[in-house]
Amino acid sequence: MAGAAVAVTDTTFQKEVLSSSQPVLVDFWAAWCGPCKAVAPIVEEIARETQGKLKVAKIDVDENPNMPQQFGVMSLPTLIVFKGGRAVERLIGYQPKARMMQAINPYLA
């Protein structure tokens, strides 16, 4: 589906996120996490609306423990904006869409 979030893993994180020419919003989530389920449709909506300006990625922390550990993810969901291979913005816990966009907009092309 056009503009949908891409699933990334510990293995593909470097290529998909850190080496991306576009800013990337990464959703660190887990299947058992209630707030993660609440954030998921908002993240998908942002993926569609910012297509071409922002890449949106999701990483399941249970299946991929290395990247969350590397970026100090302690709570779920954690949304991190990466630009130029660096974490530039971090949102922890459920956030309304307006707050997410406020964090993302400064980094959009």
Catalytic residues: 33, 36
Beta strand 55-60 with 24-29: parallel, antiparallel or unpaired? parallel
Residue 95 CB neighbour total at 10 angstroms? 18
Rounded CA-CA distance 48/70 in Å is 28
**How far are the Cα atoms of 48, 72, 73, 76, 102 from residue 68, in angstroms, in the given order?**
25, 6, 5, 10, 23
Please report where in the chains the tokens 């990483």 appear, as a residue: 59
